[in-house]
């Protein structure tokens, strides 16, 4: 196994790595600075788009026009060619301290994203599903920091968590309807060294990988929720993970250069870097695009 700095871009709050198999490019965001990046598997041919707000996650569109973005408290569209932003729908207009956070697309093209309290104190967040016709459905609520949505390889399980709850949850997932049922504890998260569960992905073997932010670790869980592997990163504020590359065997890891709140720790010189881990002997699954 080898851990390399792919890009030292010093993202204030790097998040949401997303490998697109059609373009053979990696996308990721600087949530705090409102910027979306794209590069090749080896970190070259960098592109960037500025957006007017905090961008929690993106989903590329099947029609090739750009991306759906979780922007502040809206689901919006970004045109990659022009850089123009079109607001599709606003949520939680009565909660000015909330914004959308992490998101993922299912294999029917629906986009799931949750909201969070930016002070990370109130359980005012909810989980939403944006359908392909741009209708929004609230499907669960009561979260401080919504995080880590991802799906099992057989599409029967949806994983999700509240970062500070100390648990990762599993739901029964109905791919035909996009509905969730029977939330239960999938795995306990070790918070003994100050870490919290951040972004997740599921590999082709059905194992879940989670970034343990503020602890500088990646944890791989077995399909039954046991810890299988722990990887130490050279920075503490690792934020999210996604497999990509030509053979889907590179694990890309985002990090943050500056914590979002004063009570969280600072970090070393590699803070805010985008990392690439090779030699894991594991492959990921292609991420679906939004739309029909």
Contacts of 120 (CB under 8 A, 6+ apart): 144, 145, 163, 164, 260, 261
Question: Which pLDDT tens digit goes with each residue over 123-141?
Answer: 999 999 999 999 999 999 9
C-alpha 286, offset from chain centre: 14
Residues ≥6 apart with Cβ < 8 Å to 73: 90, 91, 92, 93, 95, 98, 99, 100, 115
Helix (H) or strand (E) holding 177: none
- Residue 68, exposed/middle/buried by CB under 10 A (0-12, 13-18, 19+)? buried
Mean pLDDT over 179-183 rounds to 98
Closest CA to 186 of 158, 211, 164, 213: 158
In whole angstroms, give the CA distance from residue 61 to residue 86.
14
d(C-alpha 173, C-alpha 60), whole Å: 22
Q: What is the pLDDT of residue 209?
A: 99
Closest CA relative to residue 136, chosen from 110, 160, 159: 110
Per-residue confidence (pLDDT) for residue 207, from 0 to 100: 98
Distance between CA atoms of 292 and 277, rounded to whole angstroms? 33
Q: Which CATH architecture does the domain made up of 2-278 adopt?
A: 6 Propeller (2.120)
pLDDT, tens only, 193-229: 999 999 999 999 999 999 999 999 999 999 999 999 9
Summarised one tens digit per residue, pLDDT across range 13-54 is 999 999 999 999 999 999 999 999 999 999 999 999 999 999
> What pLDDT score does 263 carry?
81
| 120 — pLDDT class (breaks 50, 70, 90) | very high
**Can you give the residue ranges of every domain in the chain?**
2-278
Mean predicted lDDT score pLDDT of the chain: 97
pLDDT at 260: 86
Residues of the chain with pLDDT > 90, as a percent, come to: 96
Instruction: Decide: 98 and 118 in contact? Cβ < 8 Å.
Output: yes
> Residues 202-229, buried b or exposed e (16+ Cβ, 10 A)?
bbeeebbbbbbbbbbbbbbbebeeeeee
- Catalytic residue list contains 198: yes
Confidence of residue 266 (pLDDT cuts 50, 70, 90): confident
Give the residue among 264, 186, 258 at the shortest CA–CA distance from 225.
186
Contact (Cβ atoms closer than 8 angstroms) between residue 117 and residue 144? yes
Does residue 173 carry a pLDDT above 90?
yes
pLDDT reading at 172 higher than 90? yes
Query: What would the pLDDT profile of 67-119 be if each residue is shown by its tens digit?
Result: 999 999 999 999 999 999 999 999 999 999 999 999 999 999 999 999 999 99
Overall pTM surpassing 0.95 (yes/no): yes
Return d(Cα 128, Cα 31) in angstroms, integer: 19
Residue of 162, 198, 203, 267 marked active site: 198
> Residue 262: pLDDT above 90?
no
């Amino acid at each position: 196994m080898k851990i390399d700095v792919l890009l030292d871009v010093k993202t204030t709050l790097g998040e949401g790595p997303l490998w697109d198999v059609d373009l053979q490019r990696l996308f990721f965001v600087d949530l705090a600075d409102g910027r979306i990046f794209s590069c090749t598997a080896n970190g070259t041919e960098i592109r960037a788009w500025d957006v007017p707000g905090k961008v929690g996650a993106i989903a590329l569109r099947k029609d090739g026009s750009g991306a759906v973005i979780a922007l502040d408290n809206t689901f919006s569209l970004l045109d990659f060619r022009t850089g123009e932003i079109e607001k599709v729908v606003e949520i939680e207009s009565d909660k000015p301290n909330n914004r959308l956070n992490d998101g993922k697309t299912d294999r029917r093209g629906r986009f799931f994203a949750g909201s969070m309290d930016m002070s990370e104190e109130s359980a005012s967040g909810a989980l939403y599903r944006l359908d392909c016709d741009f209708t929004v459905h609230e499907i669960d609520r009561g979260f401080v920091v919504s995080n880590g949505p991802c799906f099992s390889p057989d599409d029967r399980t949806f994983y999700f968590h509240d970062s500070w709850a100390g648990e990762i949850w599993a739901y029964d997932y109905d791919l035909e309807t996009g509905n969730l049922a029977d939330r239960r504890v999938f795995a306990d998260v070790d918070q003994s060294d100050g870490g919290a569960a951040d972004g997740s992905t599921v590999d082709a073997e059905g194992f879940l990988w989670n970034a343990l932010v503020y602890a500088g670790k990646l944890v791989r869980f077995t399909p039954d929720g046991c810890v299988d592997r722990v990887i130490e990163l050279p920075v503490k504020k690792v934020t999210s993970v996604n497999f990509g590359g030509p053979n889907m065997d590179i694990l890309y890891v985002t990090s943050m250069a500056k914590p979002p709140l004063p009570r969280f720790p600072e970090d070393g010189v590699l803070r805010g870097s985008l990392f690439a881990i090779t030699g894991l002997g594991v492959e990921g699954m292609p991420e679906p695009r939004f739309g029909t």
